[in-house]
Amino acid sequence: MKSTTLPPAGGLHRAFQQYYALTKPRVVQLIVFCAVIGMFLATPGLPPWRPLVFGTAGIWLVASAAAAFNCLVEQRIDAVMRRTAWRPSATGELRAAPIIAFSGTLCALGMLLLDTQVNALTMWLTFGTFIGYAVIYTVLLKPATPQNIVIGGASGAMPPVLGWVAVSGHVGAQALILFLIIFLWTPPHFWALALYRADDYRKSGLPMLPVTHGSEYTRLQALLYTVLLTAVSMMPYAIHMSGLVYAISAVLLDAVFLAYAWELKQRYSDALARRMFRYSIVYLSLLFGAMLVDHYLRF
- Strands (E) located in 188-281: none
Domain count, the chain: 2
Q: Residue 96 falls within a domain, yes or no?
A: yes
Residues in the chain: 299
CA distance 188 to 246: 22
Query: Which residue ranges in the chain fall short of pLDDT 50?
Result: 1-7
Q: Residue 9 falls within a domain, yes or no?
A: no
pLDDT of the residue at 299: 65
- Residue 220 zone, left/alpha/beta (φ > 0; ψ -120 to 50; rest): alpha
Q: Which of 170, 197, 222 lies at the terminal end of a domain, its last residue?
A: 170
Q: What is the pLDDT of residues 36-61, one digit of tens each?
A: 999 999 999 899 999 999 999 999 99
Q: Residue 8 falls within a domain, yes or no?
A: no
CATH number of the domain within which 140 lies: 1.10.357.140
Q: Which of 146, 170, 194 lies at the terminal end of a domain, its last residue?
A: 170
Q: Is 166 in the same domain as 176?
A: no
Q: Is 166 in the same domain as 178?
A: no
Q: What is the pLDDT of residues 160-189, one digit of tens each?
A: 999 999 999 999 899 999 999 999 999 999
CATH number of the domain within which 297 lies: 1.20.120
Task: Classify burial at 26, counting beta carbons within 10 Å of its beta carbon; exposed 0-12, middle 13-18, buried 19 or more.
Answer: exposed
CA distance 274 to 187: 14
Q: Is 111 in the same domain as 185?
A: no
Q: Which of 151, 170, 189 lies at the terminal end of a domain, its last residue?
A: 170
Q: Is 228 in the same domain as 261?
A: yes
pLDDT of the residue at 148: 82
Q: Is 199 in the same domain as 56?
A: no
Domain of 46, in residue numbers: 15-170
CA distance 294 to 44: 11
* Distances from the Cα of 216 to the Cα of 13, 50, 58, 78, 223, angstroms: 45, 49, 41, 26, 11
